[in-house]
Amino acid sequence: MSDILGLVVSIALIYFAIKFTFKCIKWIGILLIVVFVFKMVALIL
């Protein structure tokens, strides 16, 4: 019984870790794009 519970907990932790990592990657990507756009605009102006 405790083995199944441990397995479920570890799967849940891995799932949340992956979800959190993807969210961080997405936000970092958005920030990089924003910075890139600002640099391009600054060069044009």
**What pLDDT was estimated at residue 45?**
84
Ranges of H-type helices in the chain: 2-44
Tell me how far CA of residue 37 lies from CA of 16, 26, 40, 43, 44, in angstroms: 32, 17, 5, 10, 11
pLDDT digits (tens, 9 = 90+) for 32-41: 999 999 999 9
User: Which residues form the domain of 21?
Assistant: 1-45
Question: What's the domain count of the chain?
Answer: 1
**What pLDDT was estimated at residue 13?**
97
pLDDT digits (tens, 9 = 90+) for 5-14: 999 999 999 9
- In angstroms, the CA 26 to CA 34 distance is 12
The answer, yes or no, to whether residue 2 has pLDDT greater than 90, is no
Token pair recorded at residue 5: 């519970």
